[in-house]
Chain A
Amino acid sequence: MNSLLGMARSSAWNRRSTLVWVVVSLALATALLWTLERLRSDIRSSFSQSVSGVDLIVGARSSSVQLMLFSVFHIGNQPQTLSMDSVRAVAQHRSVAWVVPLSLGDSHRGFPVLGTTTAYFQHFAYGDKQALVLQQGSPFAGTLDGLFETVIGSEVARKLGYGIGQSITLAHGMHDHDHDHSGELSEAQDEHSDKPFKVVGILAPTGTPVDRTVHVSLQALEALHLDWTGGTPLPGGQIPADQARKFNLEPEEVTAALVGLKSRAAVFNVQRFVNLYEAEALMGVLPGVALGELWSVLGIGESALLAVSALVALVSVVSLMAVVLAGLNERRRELAVLRAVGAAPRHVLTLLTLEGLWVTTAGIGLGVVLAQAGMWLATPWLQSALGIRLQLEMPLPTQWALLGAVWLAGLLASLGPAWRAYRLSLADGLSPRL
C-alpha cells in the first residue's frame, strides 16, 4: 500500500501536463466553497455581533430589514424620518428603560456620521453585551459649549490617522468617497467646511460598524443644517458656527431610535404600542427577528452561490474522471507491465484510485492555500468597507466538511477509471491486445 502510494504519486506527476488543469479546476472549486463558507459564517457573526442589548429599533414604517440595516449597519437608506415627539412618547412607555435617537445622513471622507445623544455611549452594546469603551479622550459633551465635538471609531482614527484634537469637517450625504485615495478633497466633502468639528474621543475597536462611524450630537447636526433646506445650502446667508448656538438646535425628527426595556418580557407589548401609535406610522423591529429575515433573504443567494460552487466541483471531478479514462488506453501496456511484475488486478485498481486521490488532494490543498491567501489579502478591505472581520485562523467544521465532500467526490470519480483499469488488466493479462 505504501509503495503503491508512492508509485501513484510518481505516475500522477508523470502525467502532470494534462492533470495540472484538473488540479487547477479542483483548486478553484475548493477555493470557492472554502471562501463562501467562511464569508457566510463571518458575515452572520459580524452582523449578529453588531447590536446587543437593544430590544427594539423604532423608525418610520417601512421594511424592517431596511430599518435595521440603515440604523445599525449604515447600509442602504431610510427615506422616512420619525418625529422626536414620537420618540419621546415611546420613551415614556412604562416598560421602556432608555431610548437613544439616531440621525444619519452625513459623512466624513466615506465614513458615516451618526448624530445621537450621550446616552448612546452608555447603552449601545455589541458582541455579548459589551459596552463601548473609549480608548482615548471622552464622549462629546452634548452641551452647547461642546457642540462641535466628535467621537470617532477606531477604524476612522486608524485609516485617517486622526488623534485627539484633530479638526475635521463633515460632508452632506452618504457619498461613498474613497478615502483610500489621497489627494484633493472633492467639493461634496467640503460642504460643511464652515463648521469644523474637534475629535474629543476615540473608541476602542469593536469589530462592528461602530469602528467606522463618526459620532456627533444631534444638536450639532441641526447646527450644520441651519442654513440648509431640502438637502442644499440656502442661497445667501450663511450662519457662522458661533452664531449657530443661538438658534434652537433641538431636532424635530430623527432617523431611528434604539430602545432598551426594563424587562425583555415586555418587548411585544412595546412593539404593539409602537406599531399602533396613532400620531405617526411607526414600526418597532426586534433586531434578532430582522436579522432572521435578512438571513432568509441572503440564504437564497447563498444557496445559489453554494450550488454554483458545488457544480464547479462536480465539473472538476468529472473532468478528472474523463482525463484519467481518456489516458487509460495508452496505459494498457503499463498495466500489463504491472501485471508482469506481480501486481494483481486489485493492485491496479488501488494504484489508479490513489492516483486520482493524489490529484484531488493536490487540488484541494492548492484551493485552500489560494482561498486563505485571497481572504487574507481582502481582509483590510472587508474590514473597512463592510466591517466584517474574517476568522482565518480557525477553519469552521463546515469548511472541513466541504473539503471532505470534494475529496469524497474525487475518490468516487477516481474509482471509475480505476475499475475500468481493473477490468482491462483482468482481460489483458500480460499481453494487451492493442
Chain B
Amino acid sequence: MIDIEPLHFAWTSGGPDTLALGPLHLDAGQTVFLHGPSGCGKSTLLGLLAGVLSPRTGRVSLLGQDWAALGAGQRDAFRADHVGVIFQQFNLLPYLSVLDNVTLPCRFSALRRRRSSQGPFAGPEQSAQSWLQRMGLSAELWGRRADALSVGQQQRVAAARALIGQPELILADEPTSALDAALRHDFMDLLLQATRDAGSTLVCVSHDATQAERFDLQWSLPELQKLGMAA
C-alpha cells in the first residue's frame, strides 16, 4: 500500500536534511498513530506521503505508484483519486453548504465520483449524506453553510469528506487538537471505525498519546529518524 525506500528530504536544495527515513511499509487497511514533538517533521512526512513534497533521495510509493514518476498534473490527479486529507481545523470552504463540502472531492476525481455512486447510492449526494450520518451529523445540518457549524461538527464533516469515494489513504494532521478533550475520543472512534469500514489506510498525526493504543501501529518520528540516519 505505502512503500518508503530510504529517503532524505530537505526544504531547500543544498540545505540541511530535515527528514531522513529508513524503509517503511504499510498494508492496506492499517491505521498508524504518528507522534513526535513539534517541528520534528510530521507534517513533512504527510506531505511526502501525499506526493505534495518530493524527497531529495529515496522513493515514496502509493499503491505501487512512485510519486516521483508522475508529472505535477498526474500527481494532482492521483492524489485526488486515492488520498483523503483532514486538517487540524479550517477544513471547509465557508461559502459552500455542509453537503457540498463533503462532495467536493467528487468534483475533482472521477474515480471517487464513480465509487461514491456505487452500491446503494444514486450519486455523490446520497453517499455524502450517508457519511455525514455515520459521523453523527443530523440531516438539518446538511444544508447549512459550513462555517455555521461548531468546530467539532466541522471536523466530522471533514472526516466525511476525506472518506467519500473511499480513497485508499486517509491522512489526518492532528484532527482532534482543536477539539475539547471530551470530544476527542468520540471523534477518533468515528474516524477509526469509518476508516476500517471503508477499507482505507489511515495515517494520523497526533499529540494526544491517550489515543495511541487504538491504532494498529504507533510510529514515533524521532525513532524512525534515528533508524533512517543509521541506514
A interface residues with partner B (beta carbon < 8 Å): 3-4, 7, 10-11, 13-14, 333-334, 336-347, 429-431
How close is B93's CB to chain A, nearest CB, in angstroms? Answer: 6
A339 and B214 CA atoms in complex are apart in Å by 29
User: Which stretch from B27-35, B46-54, B126-134, B181-189 is at the chain A interface?
Assistant: B46-54
* Interfacial chain A residues near B47, Cβ < 8 Å: 429-431
Most chain A CB within 10 A, of B43, B72, B87, B109, is at B87
* Interfacial chain A residues near B79, Cβ < 8 Å: 342
The 8 closest A-B pairs by CB, nearest first: A342-B80, A14-B95, A342-B108, A344-B76, A429-B52, A340-B85, A341-B104, A3-B107
Most chain A CB within 10 A, of B50, B81, B95, is at B95
A346 nearest in chain B by CB position: B73
User: Contact check: which of A10, A339, A342 meets B96 at CB < 8 Å?
Assistant: A10
Q: Quick check: B52 and A430 within 8 Å, CB to CB?
A: yes
A345 and B52 CA atoms in complex are apart in Å by 12
How many inter-chain residue pairs (CB < 8 Å) link A and B?
A: 70
Q: Quick check: B43 and A341 within 8 Å, CB to CB?
A: no
Given A344-B77, A347-B108, A429-B53, residue A337 in contact with residue B90 (CB < 8 A) = yes
Q: How large is the interface on B (under 10, 10 to 19, 20 to 34, 35 or more residues)?
A: 20 to 34
B105 at the interface (CB under 8 A from A): yes
Q: Quick check: B52 and A341 within 8 Å, CB to CB?
A: no
Can you sample 18 A-B contacts with CB below 8 Å?
Answer: A7-B96, A7-B107, A10-B96, A14-B94, A336-B87, A337-B87, A340-B85, A341-B80, A341-B104, A342-B108, A343-B108, A344-B73, A344-B76, A346-B73, A347-B108, A429-B47, A429-B52, A431-B173
A344 and B81 CA atoms in complex are apart in Å by 12
Q: Quick check: A431 and B43 within 8 Å, CB to CB?
A: yes
User: Which applies to chain A's interface (DSSP): helix, strand, loop or mixed?
Assistant: helix
* Interfacial chain B residues near A346, Cβ < 8 Å: 73
B176 at the interface (CB under 8 A from A): no
Q: Quick check: B92 and A337 within 8 Å, CB to CB?
A: yes
A346 and B71 CA atoms in complex are apart in Å by 14
**B159-171 interface bits toward A, Cβ cutoff 8 Å, 1 = contact, 0 = none:** 0010000000000
How close is B231's CB to chain A, nearest CB, in angstroms? Answer: 26
B91 at the interface (CB under 8 A from A): yes
**B34-47 interface bits toward A, Cβ cutoff 8 Å, 1 = contact, 0 = none:** 00000000010011
* Interfacial chain A residues near B52, Cβ < 8 Å: 339, 429-430
A155 and B154 CA atoms in complex are apart in Å by 68
How close is A333's CB to chain B, nearest CB, in angstroms? Answer: 5
A431 and B46 CA atoms in complex are apart in Å by 10
A356 and B77 CA atoms in complex are apart in Å by 26
A266 and B167 CA atoms in complex are apart in Å by 89
Q: Quick check: B87 and A340 within 8 Å, CB to CB?
A: yes
B interface residues with partner A (beta carbon < 8 Å): 43, 46-47, 50, 52-53, 72-73, 76-77, 79-81, 85, 87, 90-96, 104-105, 107-109, 112, 161, 173
A338 nearest in chain B by CB position: B93
User: Contact check: which of B77, B95, B107, B109 meets A11 at CB < 8 Å?
Assistant: B95
Besides A342-B112, A344-B73, A429-B50, 17 other A-B contacts (C-beta < 8 A): A4-B107, A10-B96, A14-B94, A334-B93, A334-B94, A342-B77, A342-B80, A342-B107, A342-B108, A343-B76, A343-B80, A344-B72, A344-B108, A345-B76, A346-B73, A429-B52, A430-B87
A343 nearest in chain B by CB position: B108
A336 and B87 CA atoms in complex are apart in Å by 10
* Interfacial chain A residues near B77, Cβ < 8 Å: 342, 344
A344 nearest in chain B by CB position: B76
A409 and B43 CA atoms in complex are apart in Å by 41
* Interfacial chain B residues near A342, Cβ < 8 Å: 76-77, 79-81, 104-105, 107-109, 112
* Interfacial chain B residues near A429, Cβ < 8 Å: 47, 50, 52-53
How close is A342's CB to chain B, nearest CB, in angstroms? Answer: 3
Q: Quick check: B108 and A333 within 8 Å, CB to CB?
A: no
A233 and B159 CA atoms in complex are apart in Å by 96
* Interfacial chain A residues near B50, Cβ < 8 Å: 429-430
Q: Quick check: B107 and A430 within 8 Å, CB to CB?
A: no
A118 and B185 CA atoms in complex are apart in Å by 103
A159 and B107 CA atoms in complex are apart in Å by 63
Q: Quick check: A430 and B94 within 8 Å, CB to CB?
A: no
How close is A422's CB to chain B, nearest CB, in angstroms? Answer: 12
A413 and B3 CA atoms in complex are apart in Å by 45
A10 and B93 CA atoms in complex are apart in Å by 10
How close is B45's CB to chain A, nearest CB, in angstroms? Answer: 12
A415 and B91 CA atoms in complex are apart in Å by 26
A430 nearest in chain B by CB position: B52
* Interfacial chain B residues near A14, Cβ < 8 Å: 94-95
